[in-house]
Amino acid sequence: MFQVIEFYASGAAMEEYRPRSPQELGLHPRDVTLFAPISRLAAPQRATIAVHDGKILVKTEIVKAIITADKAVLIKGRRLKDTHKLSQAILMANEQRLMALRKHEEEQQQLEATRGLFPSSAVCSSTMGSCERAASAADLLRLADKGAAKRGGARAGRQHGSGSAGLVHAAAAAAAGGASSAGAQAAAAAAASAGDESAVRSAAGSELKDVPFEMLVLEVLLDATAEYFYTKVQHLNWMLESIAADLRQPSQPGGALDRAHQLIPIQKFLTHVKNDVKETCEAIQAALEDDETLQDLCLSWHLQQKQHTRWVPVELQRHGSGAAAGGDLGLISAGSSNGNGTAGGQQAAAGADATQLTGLGWRPRAAGAHAD
């Protein structure tokens, strides 16, 4: 029985206080031992990244999770603090993904609305004496902004948002205020750094909307595992520093043995961390080097392929019915245009039948070939 927390791709989360059985979690009997607690009778593998029955099974020293395309089940560990931290990380990452998706949808809606106001057509320019085609409505808006900026050059000292426009306004304000060139450069550099930071955030958000839910959760779990190893290394450094003071003291008769005993806990801790890191790296490397495993990890892609597989036969059937209707129309038009309705109709009907048979995979035999 497992205590779990469920996270959904829609952003919802549900903590189950009632223990869940392996059957309720959809675990195969062969995978139950993977998430079983460590006991003296069995030593399960500590690090695993595998795909079984459309589920990504992840287990590291700090993580136990079952991931599907629309849900992630986090199995609670021995330390509730680690489980709470993992839960917060998953919720935060998924919320950022949903915000990026909503922002992308709003931008698409605004773009469609702008295209409705400014249709993509040939724009005549009387001053140039020629017509220039507008690439998009965004180009028209940018041209309008440039014209407004030229007309309002005297009022360029007003404060604006960060970014490239903020860089121009900050430099203009510094020059208009009588500041030195060094001050103008400092203001421009600050605005440029702010613009770069906002550009990085925008790029990260635009990329986050394309990350599937299962890949996002897997990244969060692996990042938490790496942070766990980092804390272990920090603890090891603390142990070394605490013992180093005793080791630097002048040796005393019989004190060498005591100092050697102080190194035993460090050696055990270091061996434990090294084995955990090695097994985790081997699990990640095995998944990266296997093309089949990499393809199986893309659960959302497989769902899209299944939907496409269900959709194609329906479209082929519609296409076949459309081809049959087109054949009937060809029969009528051919009969009326040739002046010989019978011959033209038979030829068009034969052509329509051949088209339908070819679409079903039939190929005509060569001349002189015998039937089976």
Residue that wins the pLDDT comparison between 351 and 27 = 27
Residue that wins the pLDDT comparison between 69 and 121 = 69
Phi, psi (deg, nearest 5) at residue 179:
-75, 160
Measured CA to CA, the distance from residue 169 to residue 149 in angstroms comes to 10
Tokens representing 123 are 């724009």
pLDDT at 319: 56
| DSSP codes joined into one string, 178-245 | T--HHHHHHHHHHHHHHHHHHHHHHHHHHHHTTS-HHHHHHHHHHHHHHHHHHHHHHHHHHHHHHHHH
The answer on pLDDT for 324 being more than 70 is: no
pLDDT at 124: 43
Per-residue pLDDT tens for 198-212? Answer: 544 555 555 667 788
The answer on pLDDT for 346 being more than 60 is: no
pLDDT at 37: 66
pLDDT at 159: 42
Per-residue pLDDT tens for 293-309? Answer: 888 888 888 777 776 65
The mean pLDDT of the chain is 67
Task: Report percent pLDDT > 90 for the chain.
Answer: 0
The CA angle 154-157-159, to the nearest 5 degrees, is: 140
pLDDT at 17: 80
Per-residue pLDDT tens for 182-196? Answer: 444 544 455 455 555
Does an H or E element contain 151, and which? helix 137-151
The answer on pLDDT for 64 being more than 60 is: yes
Tokens representing 2 are 């497992």
For residues 151-169, average pLDDT? 42
Residue that wins the pLDDT comparison between 187 and 135 = 187
pLDDT at 210: 74
pLDDT at 202: 52
- Taken as a whole, the chain contains a residue count of 372
Measured CA to CA, the distance from residue 199 to residue 194 in angstroms comes to 8
CB 294 within 8 A of CB 215: no
Tokens representing 141 are 């808006």
Residue 55's CB is within 10 A of a number of other CB atoms, namely 22
CB 38 within 8 A of CB 44: yes
Phi, psi (deg, nearest 5) at residue 365:
-80, 155
